[in-house]
Amino acid sequence: MKNFYLLVLFVGLVALTHVHANNEVEDLTKDFIVGDPGIESINALAFGPSGILFVGDAQKANVVAIDTKDTDTNAEVGNVNMNKVDEKIAALLGANVEDLQIIDMAVNPLSQNIYFAIRHSNGTPMLIKTDGESMEVMPMDKVSHSKVELSNPVAEDAKDRRGRALRRWAVSDVAYHDGKLMVSGLSNEEFSSTFRSIPFPFKTKQMHASLEIYHAAHGRYETYAPIKTFMPFELNGEAHIVASYTCTPLVLFPMSEVKAGEHTKGRTVAELGNRNTPLDIIHIEKDGASFFLMNNTSRPVMKIAVDEVAAYKDYLTEPVKGNSMTAGVDYISLPYVNVLQMDKYGDGVLMLQRRSNGDLALFTTNKNRL
């Protein structure tokens, strides 16, 4: 009998949680419409809550939030080990492998399904979903979605004679944190920073002034610093952004200091070597400590202790000499080279790696090995 009560209580709790989860999805997607969002390019992917996928479209200068309805949390977090991913994608799309590029990869934290943004050299974007075994194309012409424009008001933007916008904001990264979508973008004309924080769900009319973020070199020279890659995270209970500028160093600033129209300076916490730019930054917990992992254009995956970043109070004051060409917070190089894409997968990490034999492999790594 006692067991029966427990069962009733359990079923009730499950039902309540389910209702709560459904309400949350409904609240977030109540302004979504079903149709073709007109995505022309996919430059960045990020998952928000409830299986909502944010798609940064540089060609259209907007971000589309898609309700993937991929919210099944029952899936077991297994190991992924898929080889020749690019050839599988080429076969699925019926295209030449050399014409395709994997632009971004995001793991749905609920279902653990993996999403790839693919671009054909003629510019056509495709979204592909895999559970680590089979692959499918996600049609983008009839989806439940909502979108937000990133261009300036039309009247302010110049058009050419065919009515096309001349200035464009190329989306370089998107991330969701605590009710806000953050977007970094590069201008195809001015050298300036366009880091935006946009409340989600998107409103029809909203202000999202671009933020002025500066980079101070050794306390002396100061320039605008467009952000290439970034990740929001909590540090000592406060929201922070860790970012990489187009000019390579790793910078940190609290979200509270980032205000529209204000002159915000990122605190440089590490230089990561010459001709090297982080591609993705993720955050993992291991043995009660937290770490950043970064895959890079020309260095192995790096691991940096968040505690060290938090404790690092100074700007880098002296130019760094010598061969290491790095400075600031220390990092450990992990034995993973040529990692093109990386995301969290369960409490481990999923990597897309170009192997020395030329194969493109997708695999999971247990956090104990990181």
By CB under 8 A, tell whether 275 contacts another protein: yes
Cα–Cα distances (Å) from 233 to 240, 262, 297, 302, 333, in that order, read 5, 22, 23, 18, 22
What distance in Å separates the CA atoms of residue 181 and residue 8, rounded to the nearest whole number? 39
Q: Total residues at the site for another protein (CB under 8 A)? A: 66
Tell me the per-residue interface mask from 96 to 135 with another protein, x by CB under 8 A, - otherwise: x--x-x-x---------------xxxxxx-x--------x
Cβ nearer to another protein, comparing 28 with 339 = 339
Are 215 and 199 in contact by the 8 Å Cβ rule? The answer is: no
Using the minimum distance from each CB to another protein, give the nearer residue, 226 or 348: 226
How far apart CA 351 and CA 333 sit, in angstroms, is: 15
Q: Does residue 358 interact with another protein by CB under 8 A? A: no
Is 20 a binder of another protein (CB under 8 A)? no
Contact status: 298 vs another protein (CB under 8 A)? no
Of 162-170, 283-291, 330-338, 355-363, the segment contacting another protein by CB under 8 A is 162-170
By CB under 8 A, is residue 274 in contact with another protein? Answer: yes
* Cα pseudo-dihedral 223, 340, 285, 234, rounded to 10: 30
Question: Across the chain, how many H-helices and E-strands are there?
Answer: 3, 27
Query: Smallest distance, Å, CB 283 to another protein?
Result: 22
- Please state, in angstroms and as integers, the Cα–Cα distance from residue 31 to each residue in 163, 179, 200, 204, 235, following that order: 29, 15, 11, 10, 33
Residue 267 engages another protein in binding (rule: CB under 8 A):
no
Distance of CA 7 to the CA centre of its chain: 41
Q: Does 1 bind another protein (CB under 8 A)?
A: no
Separation of CA 66 from chain center:
15
- Smaller CB distance to another protein: residue 146 or 193? 193
Beta carbon of residue 88, minimum distance to another protein (angstroms, whole number): 6
Residue pair 92/128 in contact by the 8 Å Cβ criterion: yes
Task: Give residues in contact with another protein (CB under 8 A).
Answer: 41, 43, 58-59, 88, 90-96, 99, 101, 103, 119-124, 126, 135-137, 139, 158, 162, 164-168, 170-172, 186-192, 215-224, 228, 246-249, 271, 274-275, 319-320, 325-327
